[in-house]
Amino acid sequence: MSLLVVGLSHRSAPVSVLERASLAADTQAKLLQDTLAAEPATEAAVLATCNRIELYADVDKFHAGVAELSTLLAQHSGVGLDELTPYLYVHYEDRAVHHLFSVACGLDSMVVGEGQILGQIKDALARGQELHTAGRLLNDLFQQALRVGKRAHSETGIDRAGQSLVTFGLQQLAAGADPGLWARGKRALVIGAGSMSSLAAATLARTGVAEIAVANRTRARAERLVEILRQGDDTTVRARAVEMSAVGDELTRADIVVSCTGSTGLVLTADALADALGTTLDAPAETPAVALAPIPAPADVDQHAAWVENGSATSAPQAPAAPAAAPRRVTLPAQSAGPVKLALLDLAMPRDIDGAAHRIDGVRLVDIESLADASADAPMAADVDQVRTIVADEVAAFGAAQRAAHVAPTVVALRTMAADVVAGEIARLDGRLPDLDEKQRAEITQTVRRVVDKLLHAPTVRVKQLASEPGGAGYADALRELFDLDPQTVAAVSRADLNDPNRGRS
C-alpha cells in the first residue's frame, strides 16, 4: 500500500484561497483522469467539499507522487503552485488512512461531528468508481471510511459534540437568541436544491419558519425538494418552488435567505440586495471584533504533515492554539446596528453572496469564513476522545487487512502451482498405469491432493498471519523466492481481483 493524500482545507488555508481553488464537477473528473495518466499514480479519488479539496492516490514513489499531485491540484484549481504550496498538507500510508477516517467521523470538520461529510465521501467514491479511477485500495479505503464514520455516530455522542453547519449558521444569524423563537413565523428563501440546500430547508422547516421558497436553476429539483418538505411529519411549513429569475422578487418578501449553489460567480450581488430592500450601500466602516458562540472542534487532529520540496520533507509551521476555555473573538464584517430586515446565510464555496452585503442597512450576513473562525479552537468533548479511539483502532485494522491482502495473490499463485503439479503427476500416472479403473484413479488423485493440501496448509495460514503485522509484506516476497513462483502469475491474480466488477460496490 502506497496511499498518498495531498490537499488543503479550512485548517490549512484561508477561505479566500479555498474559494479560488474550488473544483467544479467536470474539473474534478478531468483531475482524476490526469492523475491516472501521471506516472506515479495507479488509482485516484477527489474529496471536494465547501471547506476542503483533497486528492487521494495510490503511488509507487512518495516524492514524485507529492510533486505530481501538487502540480495537478494547482493546474486544475487555477491557483499557482507557488501560491498554493504553503497551504498544502501531505499524508502518507497509515497517516493518510488516519486522516480520511478522522474526516469521515467529523473530527476534521468545521463543525465537529457533522454528518454531511459521509455523503460527500460516498459521492467521491461513486465518482471514482464511475470514472474507473478508484481501484482496490481506494475502494477499500473509502468503503471503510464510511463504515468508520457510521460507527462513530452510532457508538458515541459525537452528534452532541457538534452541530450541523446549517444549525450553527442559524444560531449566528439569531445573534444569541433562541433560533426556534427567532425563526418562528418568518419567510425563508433557499437558493439551490443540492444536499446542503436541502439540509438547510429541512432545518428551517423544523425550526418553525412559516414559508419556504426554493429557487434552483433546474426547476424539477426545486419541486422535488418542495414535495419532500410538504410531506414532512414534523412540520406544517408552506413550501413552493420558484424560478431563479424570480429571486429578485422573492428577496423583497423574505426574512431569511440561505444560499448554497455550485455557481462559480456571485448569485446575489450587494446591489441586488440593496434594491430588494429599497436602500443603498453604506460607506465602508471599520471592522470590529465580534464574539460568536464557540462550538466543539478537534484540537490537532493529526497535525497537517509535510510539504515535499526539492526531494526533502519538511514540517509545515504550526499556528499556536488558542486557550480552549476562552470564547473566540473573530473578525466579522461590520453589521448594521439597527433591526435586521434580512438575514443571509451563505454556505457556498466559492461564495454565493457578495461580501459587501454587510454594508446594507438592515442586513446581517454569515458566511463560511465567519463560521470557520467561530468554530476554531473550541474545547474538546469527551465524545471526541471516544471517536479518536475508534479511529485509531480502525486504522490499525485497515493496515492489517491491507498487508494480509498483499500476500493473498502469492498464496493463490502457490496453490495454483501445486494444483498444476498434482495434475501433471496424475497424467503421468495414467500413462504408466493405464489399467487403473475410475474408482482407483479417483482415490489416488484425492490422496495426492490431500497430501499437498496438508503440506501447504500450515505455511499459507501462517504467512497470512505474519503478513498482517507491520513489516509483514516481506513474507510474500520470501514465499515467492522459496517456491520460485512466476511474478507474472502473481500479478495476474492481483489484476483479476482488481478488475472484479463487484469489488468495493455497496
Alpha helices (runs of H) in 433-471, residue ranges in sequence order = 438-467
Q: Which residues of 333-358 are buried (b: 16+ CB within 10 A; e: fewer)?
A: bebbeeebbbbbbbbbbbbbbbebbb
Instruction: With CA atoms as reference, report the closest residue to 202 among 168, 243, 175, 166.
Output: 166
- AA letter at 348: A
Amino acid at 446: Q
Residue 37 and residue 221: Cα distance in Å, rounded?
A: 35
Q: Determine phi and psi for 380, rounding to 5 degrees.
A: -80, 150
For residue 293, the one-letter residue type is A
Residues 6+ apart with CB under 8 A from 258: 166, 169, 188, 189, 190, 191, 197, 200, 201, 204, 345, 347
Q: In angstroms, rounded to a whole number, what is the distance separating the alpha carbons of residues 345 and 179?
A: 13
Distance CA 102, CA 148 (A): 9
Ordered alpha helix ranges (H), 59-115: 62-77, 81-84, 94-104
All three cell numbers of 377: 479552537
- On whether the CB atoms of residues 8 and 52 are closer than 8 A, the answer is yes
- Which one from 8, 15, 18, 50 is the annotated catalytic residue? 50
Let me know: does 100 contact 120? Beta carbons within 8 Å.
Answer: no
The reply to whether 260 belongs to the active site is no
How far is Cα 347 from Cα 503, in angstroms, rounded to an integer? 35
For residue 11, report the phi and psi dihedrals to the nearest 5 degrees: -85, -20
Greatest alpha-carbon pair distance for the chain in Å reads 107
Report DSSP state, residue 335: P
Q: Which of 165, 247, 216 is nearest to 226 (CA)?
A: 216
Q: How far is CA 143 from the centre of its chain?
A: 12
Task: Give residues with Cβ within 8 angstroms of 12, minimum separation 6.
Answer: 87, 88, 89, 304, 316
For 330, the grid coordinates are 473573530
Residue among 188, 100, 197 at smallest CA distance from 152: 100
DSSP code, position 262: -
Which residue's entry shows cell 487555477? 78
- Indicate which residues carry an active-site annotation: 50
